[in-house]
Structure 1
Amino acid sequence: MRLFFRDFRALAITVGTALIIGGLFISCGGAETEGEHPAKRDNAETLVVGMPGDPRSLDPHRTNDQPSSRVKKQIYDTLMYQTSDLTVTGDGLAESYEVISPTEFAFTLRQGVLFHNGEELTSEDVKFTFERMRELNAPAAFLVNALDRVEIIDDYNFVMHLSFPFGPFITHLAHPATAIINKKAVLEAGDNYGRNPVGTGPFAFVEWRSGDSLTLRRFDDHFRGPAASERVIFRIITEDTQRAIALETSEVDLIYDVGPNDFRDLAAIENVIGFQTSGLTTFYMGFNVGKEPFDDVRVRQAINLALDVEAATQVAFRGYATTAKGPLAPTVQFANTDLPGYGYDVERAKALLAEAGYPDGFSTSIWTNDNPVRVMYAEIFQEQLRAVGIAASIEIVEWAPYLDRTARGEHDMFMLGWVAVTGDADYGLYSLFHSEEFGDAGNRTFWAHEEVDRLLVDGKTNPDPQAREAAYLQAQKIIFEEAPWTFLAFRDELNATRDYVQGFQPHAAGHHILYQVYNN
């Protein structure tokens, strides 16, 4: 049976629009007179976005970090398309597809789709994309590790053959890391492709000034028609308060990841609109179990018990997050919401440390990047760990080296977050806890557990939703008990715009779509 995308919405994952709390804080200033907005910048055709982190690379196969994905979302298209509320629709590069069998999917590409270099999209680009993804062992290759091969039928038709049935496969084809790249452009740019990207997306790359800004221009030949803004400039403003000030003064039109300390005040300003949405992000502190003493589960459990996570979360997020009791936010499909959490028990923590051979504690370090929430957690935990004899120094590392060095396992403890982008437990667990995903793929704790490996594979390969749920619930129970992480918080997504910005809808995974956004 041939499936056309006008009927495809039934396949959307369950989180859907329930994720959006949306637009909670809207200023109520007086009416504006006709004409130019008094605080609006002169160039209405340019949308300026303030975001906290610089991309690592614009090559989909070189990184899977959030700042990079936010830019790649504008430059590239994927076979499938995911809306801001995680519904999968027919606005991607595939015009239609047919389920031949549980392990065979036949796709038909849209004809006449152009890359930014003028090349037409063909099945050869699709085949090249997924073969390169596997050859490079891309950080997000786990998304399509069920894929065995791409069989080209002709320029616009191909078949994707899977090694095993994989429930989230179609949804994964909407992730920015599975963006379709142009074979000619990649081969011509070689090692420099990450700074010279070529996609089919609504915006084409212009310039990247590392640590400062990144500029895109509208691609007028985009298959869905020209984007609403002529130009998008991403300004890299790492400090939360500086991003908020830039929005208040209209130096930028839109900011991502408003700091918890700034959100309420910023959203109360006249002509500013704040967006608070339930998210898919888990904040955590991980342990490098490849190093002593973190190879001992009693030490990891003791640290969990020694930390007043609930109090720290209230301080760090100012109420814009829920204390985590496990690895998955409740908005993620198959999240185990029955986990009890560790609570705060200093005496039990001391007893476990003594049992593990550390009655007087030990010295260690907490790594973080300069994210102020993570730094605040680290500072609070540094003080709390002192009460059980653990002397923890804090090391703040720049973002790109931070990811590189934790991928190599140089750290002791580290602060990080993970967005379960697809809304499915596979994305939120496999990359972080499977033993084949050590390092840049996601498992920076280097923790391995044979039974969890088996359960995560079963959840990935079993087509029965009930069997998948049972596997993931049990895997989360073991992860909780083995404690490769201290589970910190499920963060709300906080974003804000000037009120002259039209069309912005926060993406539940933070991959905000700017195709329809413009200054009015």
Structure 2
Amino acid sequence: MKKKLLSTLLAVTVAASLIAGCGAGSGAASPGSDASGTGMPEETSAGTEEVSVEAKENTGEIKTGGTLKIVTGQTPSIVGYTPEITTNSHIQFLRTAYDSLLFYDEDGKLAPCLAESWESDAEELTLTFKLYEGVKFSDDTDFNAEAVKWNIEQYQAAGRIEAANVDSIECPDEKTVVIKLKEWNSASLESIGFFIYYMSPTAVENNGVEWARINSSGTGPFVLKSFEQGVSIKYEKNPLYRVAGQPYLDGIDFTIISDAATIENTLVSGEADMISYTPIDTIKNLDPTGEYVLETNSNGVGVEMTGIIPSSAQEGNPFADVKVRQAFCYAVDVDTITAALGYGYYTVTNQWAAPNAVTYNKEVAGYPYNPEKAKELLAEAGYGDGFDTTFWSPAGSSNWATAICDNLNAVGIRAKVELIDGAKNGELMTGGWDGIMFHYASVGPDLGLFMGRHLDVAGSYYASGIQHPEDCIQLLNDIRIAPDEDTKVAKELELQKKIYDEYALFGKPLYITLIAGLKYPYVQGDNFAKNHAATWTPATCWLDK
């Protein structure tokens, strides 16, 4: 019997989802309900959300009109040609004018967006999407199966990994897309369903790629009005948006500012309604005042884990010995350092997952701070007198690196901080390093997709600097070929424990980075970072003023 993952919504659920837009949750709620979403946790740490009394008590009807003014430090060079937009933090711009086939709901599960249902068949190597009818691109051309096929082909031509496993695409009718995969990979549904954004084939072919890079032609709630790189990005309402009555706003203006202090002052002065990707120092300064609402992720999807990773690939390197790596982990007092430098806003983790994520294994013991145990393991490994090493750190993280090195030096791992720029950090990340560096890891519901980029022998990030245990690689492959979600998650949990408790392969996880929007309480229904850390729901956003 074929093993299938079938996700088909009942008619009433489909209708409700279409009314609400992509993954908007209750952001498109009826007047009188909480238009900022439901199920809000109470803590102010990554993966949680605290909402002010003013925001929670809003009971007024949704108000239409007005322009939302957002200040951000994110600086895209391309805003319209979607295959060339590869940075997660730029998805906030993508989602303003474009849509994907699927989105994430509040529980971190894939939900309908442009596709009303989908079916995964591991035996036939197919993904089948059923599309909503009547959807238009902003140039008034039809969104249909052929448009999906054309867009995926553009991603393939651009060399995007999201489309690399696509073998062929068939369109039996205007609302059905059947994608044949080269091999079964459980990550393909997320890769194709969420990370590909749909442009009008007619608009791009008639105007060219250069035009498409700085213009928009999507199915999203807004249309690009103007783009001045490094200065501003302005959008206006898409009158052809598929959800009746939405978007609620007339427009959205992003102001791009690189200096964190200026970003903060722009919000405080009232020149902006909201900060996206809020700097941690700004959160520390403004959140305690009670005058603003801090929007953060609620399900662990799309967040980033920051850790410290030792090189283990080189023969003769002390870190090639698992006991040395474990000693390294025991030596660092993560709780104290993160509380001091993260101001209480970062969530400590001991693995490649946020504590509230489906891939978080509660059985992982990790390495609680224990300097005596660290010294014991170093002695057992033949390094009772310690050894010298280098901590390669971006200049902006020097305070973290210094605090960590103080811990390491106390047990005999004499680490010297070497400050580097972004280019050098990228070079070490992809080409290998000798010593220690920060480990930045995207966290998603599909561990095979994201960890694979680091664990695979030919992985894109950090892979050149670490060992590749055969049993870990086997588990990674088992995750990719898992025929159903339960099997995949079970293997992912097993891999977490093996990677961290048995091998300490990725070193010491530190914290889940806080990706947050800081806004005035009158900004409603934006769901910034809530369903997925890099996204929001601009269609359902409105201003209660």
Query: How does the TM-score come out when normalised to structure 2?
Result: 0.76
Which of 509, 513, 517 is the aligned partner of 2:537?
A: 513
SS class of match (1:48): strand
1:300-311 matched pairs, under 5 angstroms: 300-311=325-336
Residues 452 and 173 of structure 1: CA distance in aligned 2, closer, same or farther (over 3 Å): same
1:76-115 matched pairs, under 5 angstroms: 76-90=98-112, 92-97=113-118, 103-115=125-137
**Residue 40 (structure 1) aligns with:** none
Letter in 2 for 1:68: H
Residues 364 and 109 of structure 1: CA distance in aligned 2, closer, same or farther (over 3 Å): same
1:289-300 matched pairs, under 5 angstroms: 289=312, 293=317, 297-300=322-325
Cα displacement (A) at 1:380: 1.7
SS class of match (1:126): helix
**Residue 498 (structure 2) aligns with:** 478
Cα displacement (A) at 1:291: 5.8
Residues 485 and 135 of structure 1: CA distance in aligned 2, closer, same or farther (over 3 Å): farther
**Residue 205 (structure 1) aligns with:** 224
Which of 261, 267, 284 is the aligned partner of 2:307?
A: 284
Letter in 1 for 2:460: F
Contact 1:324-1:341 within 8 A present in 2 as well: no
Q: Deviations over 1:199-241 (max 9, x none)?
A: 2222223444444433333222222254222222223345555
**Residue 476 (structure 2) aligns with:** 456
Which of 48, 61, 68 is the aligned partner of 2:83?
A: 61
Which of 49, 52, 60 is the aligned partner of 2:70?
A: 49
1:331-410 matched pairs, under 5 angstroms: 331-346=356-371, 348-349=373-374, 355=381, 359=385, 361-368=387-394, 370=396, 374-387=397-410, 388-395=412-419, 397-398=421-422, 401=423, 404-405=426-427, 408-409=430-431
Cα displacement (A) at 1:488: 0.6
Residues 211 and 307 of structure 1: CA distance in aligned 2, closer, same or farther (over 3 Å): farther
Distance 1:75 1:394 in 2: 42
Residues 276 and 108 of structure 1: CA distance in aligned 2, closer, same or farther (over 3 Å): closer
Contact 1:445-1:484 within 8 A present in 2 as well: no
Contact 2:390-2:417 within 8 A present in 1 as well: yes
Distance 2:84 2:507 in 1: 26
Cα displacement (A) at 1:358: 9.7
**Residue 198 (structure 2) aligns with:** 180
Distance 1:180 1:365 in 2: 42
Contact 1:117-1:198 within 8 A present in 2 as well: yes
Which of 294, 319, 322 is the aligned partner of 1:274?
A: 294
Distance 1:200 1:302 in 2: 52
Contact 1:253-1:497 within 8 A present in 2 as well: yes
SS class of match (2:538): coil
Percent identical across equivalent pairs?
Answer: 20
1:414-425 matched pairs, under 5 angstroms: 414-415=437-438, 417-421=440-444, 423-425=445-447
Kindly indicate whether residue 545 of structure 2 is the aligned counterpart of residue 503 of structure 1: no
Distance 1:204 1:130 in 2: 21
1:306-317 matched pairs, under 5 angstroms: 306-317=331-342
Residues 508 and 96 of structure 1: CA distance in aligned 2, closer, same or farther (over 3 Å): closer
Which of 210, 216, 219 is the aligned partner of 2:235?
A: 216
Letter in 2 for 1:234: F
Letter in 2 for 1:484: F
Distance 2:182 2:516 in 1: 40
Distance 1:243 1:444 in 2: 37
Cα displacement (A) at 1:253: 0.6
Contact 1:248-1:272 within 8 A present in 2 as well: no
Distance 2:39 2:481 in 1: 27
Residues 157 and 464 of structure 1: CA distance in aligned 2, closer, same or farther (over 3 Å): closer
Query: How does the TM-score come out when normalised to structure 1?
Result: 0.79
**Residue 20 (structure 2) aligns with:** none
Cα displacement (A) at 1:501: 1.6
Distance 1:414 1:215 in 2: 38
Distance 2:439 2:175 in 1: 41
Distance 2:256 2:220 in 1: 22
Distance 2:191 2:284 in 1: 35
Q: CA RMSD in A?
A: 4.0
Contact 1:365-1:394 within 8 A present in 2 as well: yes
Instruction: Structure 2: state its 5+ residue gaps.
Output: 1-5, 18-22, 24-36, 43-47
Contact 1:438-1:446 within 8 A present in 2 as well: no
Kindly indicate whether residue 52 of structure 2 is the aligned counterpart of residue 26 of structure 1: yes
**Residue 28 (structure 2) aligns with:** none
**Residue 347 (structure 2) aligns with:** 322
Q: Higher mean Cα deviation, 261-270 or 319-328?
A: 261-270
Kindly indicate whether residue 489 of structure 2 is the aligned counterpart of residue 469 of structure 1: yes
Contact 2:432-2:465 within 8 A present in 1 as well: no
Distance 2:243 2:424 in 1: 38
Contact 1:150-1:159 within 8 A present in 2 as well: yes
Instruction: Structure 1: state its 5+ residue gaps.
Output: 35-43
Cα displacement (A) at 1:437: 3.1
Contact 2:69-2:255 within 8 A present in 1 as well: yes
Letter in 1 for 2:267: L
Distance 2:375 2:93 in 1: 46
Residues 234 and 112 of structure 1: CA distance in aligned 2, closer, same or farther (over 3 Å): same
Distance 1:133 1:314 in 2: 42
